[in-house]
Chains A and B, each alone.
Chain A
Amino acid sequence: MTSTRPAVAVSSTEIEHAANDHNSGHAEHPDLRMFGLATFLVADGMTFAGFFAAYLTFRAVNPLPEGAIYELELLLPTINTAVLIASSFTFHRATKELMKGAMGACRGWLLTTALMGIAFLAGQMYEYFHLPFGLTDNLFASTFYALTGFHGLHVTLGALMILIVWAQASQPGYFTPEKHFGIEAVELYWHFVDVIWVILFGILYLL
């Protein structure tokens, strides 16, 4: 005789469900795309964390050559920072309008956000062209361009995605208060980019 303790529980509701299940087991399952995006942003954040750690270590232990410029002009970058932070608020406003069903207003705020993002990039370009150092001048210069450049790529991608969802939102019914993953996802990404910039600004410009 054999005996194994029963370890499989199949409840009566499951048996019913199986009997009624014409689609061979398909069921509604949760939408995990935001969860997946959030996890991805953790990973992306860790890339930046590596850069930050490298930069701070270089600052602490690696001397720059005599005469190297490491003090940065603050006016334009501060304005840029304000623009980027404000653009997170405009994006949030866009989502609020979406939840009210006011697609026109939503689109307006989305466009505003995108334009502010592009303004940020323009400000960065202006700053790049007017900096007294180039990419390879010294360690600080290289790290500066690497960090802000990598971040700038993220902003560029973000602005593009905002424009894409802005265009998609012009199709009636594409986004509804219940179903708007595209806008939600890009919003989370945009806030992420903003937070990274605040940290970056702090350690590159202020420290």
Chain B
Amino acid sequence: MTIALPPLQSPEAHESLQPTNWLRYFSFSLDHKVIGLQYIVCGFLFYFVGGALAGVIRTELATPISDFVTRETYNQVLTLHGTIMIFLWIVPVVNGGFGNYLIPFYVGARDMAFPRLNAVAFWMIPPAGLLLISSYFIGGAAQSGWTAYPPLSLTTPAMGQIIWIVSVLLLGGSSIFGGINFIATILKFRQPGLKLLQMPMYCWAMLGTSILVVLSTPVLAGTLILLSMDIVAHTGFFNPSQGGNVVVYQHLFWFYSHPAVYIMVLPAFGLVSEILPIHARKPLFGYVTMVYSILAIVVLGLVVWAHHMFTSGTPPWMRLFFTIATAFIAVPTGIKFFNWIATIWQGRIALNSAMLFSCAFILQFVFGGITGVALAQVPFDVHVHDTYFVVAHFHYIVYGGTVFVIFASIYHWYPKFTGRMHNEHLGRLHLVLTVIGFNLCFGPQHWLGLNGMPRRVAEYDPQFTFMNQLSSVGALLMAISTIPFLINVIGSIWWGAEAGDNPWRALTPEWLTSSPPPVENWKGAAPLVHEPYGYGTEPGLVDLKVATGSDLWRNS
């Protein structure tokens, strides 16, 4: 059945009900573009908080003894760092931020399928985040890591842990609402004539991600409810002294938290698939295999969780099964990377910030993927589990991977969001500082883990001092790198050149409208784009403005 909504008011009529100027970003707006930007900006604010917490960690670790903050504080800091970065920065920004902004454009719709649910999902985030952060000031935050393993999470101060649980439940709920919205919009809201295999790749990435969100996040919710019952009602689900089983918690927790890493990375894969073809002026290589890869990653991602438990209460057969299953994920993931390289190969590559951040992503994520395949092997993991090797691995994946894509995406879509061009020099400065800082920070951590430094410690064997100091210098550089970034994204709003509708001469629907787009996304009908990657010149064509003599007789 179809429902007819009341006719859309012209923008002037809105003023009495909803702000239409900058205030709308602070309101309960139903516009997916506003919500998308709310997610992004809110996410960045939490990123800076999480980054400050990382600064505390790296300052503490610049010396081998615990001399910067108390040990309890340090454990709170590391818990909040992980929790904030995952649930308040990466998941909201790549899913809720870019997802909400772009998906309606890509399916040819004026908005998401459920605009009110969309707004509700966003507005759950700031209070949940503030609640979590406030726990630090009210009696202390949770201290058991973002993984909250019992019995430790049952024996540390209860208030902080309960606030952590409530906050994560709210954030998980927000994520689930978003997932429902994306599935409905992508599967059911496409404009007539747009086939599934004609959608931009980001739609497939968000569809796969949202399936993971809907299937796995509720399991975390249930687990945390049981954990909270142990704390508040003194049940013993995970309390061995009452006959409970702590390993069951780990299984339930990781059933969500492994797909969670794909929830953080698959949207980034989708975004890169949008950025590379445009700046290399070539079609995305291997569209259909890219789709199958996403689906394979979604399916496999649900059955590999116990590779986080190779040294836990797991019998040999279980460890073996999860080794094999996890190793398989490397195949569809690798395919995507080869396809991206093939996309830029023989292209006409513009070396702008968006492209360079994307290329850095490719190399850094491959590095993280290699250490990931290594970690998937039980005998290898037995030595490095819960050491800085793992910390290095996942930061290469989430920071060197997803965060770099977030930056690439900001530089790519900034003209569309704001109508202004950002400053390329500042963008490249940001890139150089971030690449050097990031690799200096996390590269040495591989060696630290291999040679005996465990994770989640404020004090370590003095033989590790030099590498830790290198790492801390890298972290400082990363902190400094935010300065050119902030000057750029804030300053360019006033100083940037006007962008026009389509500064990148792109083909996807969001570029076929004004910058920023009107409330209804396009004036007139939504464009039906059958080939979102339809770039390509006839072979043999020559651009006379730049051709040289040798171009005319060379075989290229």
Contact = CB atoms under 8 A, between A and B. Distances in A.
Contacts of A7: 507, 529-534
A130 interface: no
Contacts of B537: 3-4
Interface stretch (B240-248, B399-407, B417-425): B240-248
A125 interface: no
B235 A17 contact: no
Interface of A: 1-11, 14-15, 17-18, 21, 23-26, 28-33, 35-36, 39-40, 42-51, 53-54, 57-58, 61-65, 135-136, 138-139, 142-143, 146, 150, 178-179
B509 to A, nearest CB: 9
Contact of A32 (B5, B188, B225, B534): B188
8 contacts: A7-B507, A7-B534, A8-B527, A25-B521, A36-B114, A46-B215, A51-B222, A139-B244
Q: Top 4 A-B pairs ranked by shortest CB distance?
A: A7-B534, A50-B222, A18-B524, A50-B219
B541 interface: yes
Contacts of A143: 237
Contacts of A3: 537-538, 541
A4 B505 contact: yes
Given A7-B529, A17-B525, A63-B243, A28 B541 contact: no
B312 to A, nearest CB: 14
Contact of A139 (B114, B215, B237): B237
A11 B219 contact: no
Contact of A31 (B3, B237, B244, B251): B3
Contact of A21 (B218, B255, B525): B525
Nearest to B113: A32
A185 to B, nearest CB: 13
B299 interface: no
Interface residues of B, number: 73
Given A2-B543, A25-B521, A39 B183 contact: yes
Contacts of A64: 243
Given A9-B528, A30-B189, A43-B217, 5 more contacts: A4-B505, A29-B2, A47-B218, A54-B226, A150-B225
B386 interface: no
B135 to A, nearest CB: 24
B8 A26 contact: yes
Given A4-B505, A24-B8, A135-B235, A57 B188 contact: no
B117 interface: yes
Contacts of B214: 39, 42-43, 46
Nearest to A63: B243
Interface in B168-204: 176, 179-181, 183-184, 187-189, 193
B4 interface: yes
A60 B552 CA distance: 76
B543 to A, nearest CB: 7
